[in-house]
Amino acid sequence: MKSFFNPKRTIAELKELRELTSNEHGAQRVAFTKTWLEARAWLEKKLRELPVETHQDAAGNVWSTLRGASERALLLGGHIDSVPNGGWLDGSLNLLAGLEVLRRIHAEYSGHPPFTVRLVNWADEEGARFGKSLFGSSACAGHLHLPEARALRDQDGIFLAEALREIGLDLERAGDSARELRHAAAYLELHIEQGPVLLNLDLPLGAVLGTFGVERHAFTFRGQAAHAGSTPMNLRQDAFLAAARMSPEIYQIALRHGGVATIGSCLTKPGVPTIVVEECRLTLDERHLEARALAAMLRETSEAGERFAREGGVRLERERLLQIAPVLFQAELIDLCDAAIRETCGQSHRLPSGPLHDAAEMARAGVPTVMMFVQSLRGISHNKIEDTREDHLELCVAAFDKLAEKTMRWLARSL
């Protein structure tokens, strides 16, 4: 590897950022806070070492552009914001690996690459303060729902629009960010896996197939409150019992279809030990990479709920809380990502992403997209113990650089 490309420098810069923006509880780079602004300024100072043009767009995303022979642009993206008490790698690895790739491209092509290369620092990927994930990338992709965004406020009652005004932005114009994609030809993102798949396979890197679709629903069983001592078991209309019988069936449905399902909460009413449960509300999150399989999971879950409600003599009501379609990444870029990984460390694995990422918004906007994952120790993220082996960090930066170069060659073939 040429001397101007140095993955160890990426690790050193990640540690530098951790020292600047973390405390004993973990990373504190929550979007639209003082620490977040300090982190962004720190990164922009690093970028001033390169002949790039840097500006903030209408949604607060920061773009650093290395002009090339073609206006068609290769985008490298990440986010420097974190959750409260978060990890040192989530989001920031993406950006600092992208910075190192930008350095290599600038040096190797003497500042004149065949394509324009842009590093984007997305605003508020996590949604930790206002509860809206992927704010900057969804605005850029044309998917920001303004009525919803206008109503967003933090725990202190401050509206998102107010926070944006503090950094010179107007929420009503956030959608103007879409003009940044005018020449976008491909989007690449490196990320820690945040889960245990690569760890369990003892592999450092993986090529990401896409992001799961989500069906999130509330299932409310309604029975009859009655005295816990005087009501015979065979005469009860116990809402909790119907919900309890449905619950293991939900997990079996997920296993059959190769998806995942989570019952995140269970609330009973009246919630008194001496009263048979009159109402039991489950919140259910189902995810799958394939839309057809996700629809089948939801259908079978609903059928199971109705069956157990009938058997228990209770009623079932359903409410959709969230629906997100699966996003598949570009097939040729997945192949290139897989090849870059195999050339770097010998073996690759293709896997879906359960969490959402800015990359999904780029794919939804029609930009050819792929992600690369690096193994997460313990499979843990959004936690101060989030970590990845340093040799794996070096490998992922090297593989990501190979992916960027392969993508530029792919773009050249498509001219």
- β-partners of residue 76 are 119, 188
At residue 2, the pLDDT reads 53
Residue 3 in this model has a pLDDT that exceeds 90 = no
Judge if pTM exceeds 0.95: no
Q: 171 CB contacts (<8 Å, ≥6 apart)?
A: 146, 149, 150, 160, 161, 164
Q: For residue range 116-148, what is the model confidence (pLDDT) as tens digits?
A: 999 999 999 999 999 989 999 999 999 999 999
> In sequence order, which residues have a C-beta less than 8 Å from that of residue 242 and are 6 or more positions away?
221, 223, 280, 308, 309, 311, 312, 314, 316
The residues near 290 (Cβ < 8 Å, ≥ 6 apart) are 213, 326
**Which domains can be identified in the chain, with CATH numbers?**
7-211+326-413 (3.40.630.10), 213-324 (3.30.70.360)
Q: Please tell me the predicted confidence (pLDDT) of residue 1.
A: 43
Using the 8-state DSSP alphabet, how is residue 382 labeled? S
Segment 207-235 mean pLDDT: 97
What is the signed CA dihedral for 334, 338, 339, 342, rounded to 10 degrees? 170
61, 123 Cβ separation under 8 angstroms: yes
Residue 111 binned pLDDT confidence (cut-offs 50, 70, 90): confident
Q: pLDDT at position 402, please?
A: 98
Contact residues for 282 (Cβ-Cβ < 8 A; gap 6+): 218, 219, 220, 243, 246, 247, 263, 265, 266
pLDDT in tens, 71-96: 999 999 999 999 999 999 999 999 99
Which residues, including other chains, have CB under 8 Å from residue 327's CB and lie 6 or more apart? 210, 211, 213, 360, 363, 364
- Position 404 scores a pLDDT of 98
Closest to 287 (Cα-Cα) out of 360, 392, 393, 179: 360
pLDDT in tens, 186-204: 999 999 999 999 999 999 9
Label residues 179-209 b or e (16+ Cβ within 10 Å = b).
ebbeebbbbbbbbbbbbebbbeeebbbbbbb
pLDDT tens readout for residues 327-340 = 999 999 999 999 99
208 close to 358: Cβ distance less than 8 angstroms: no
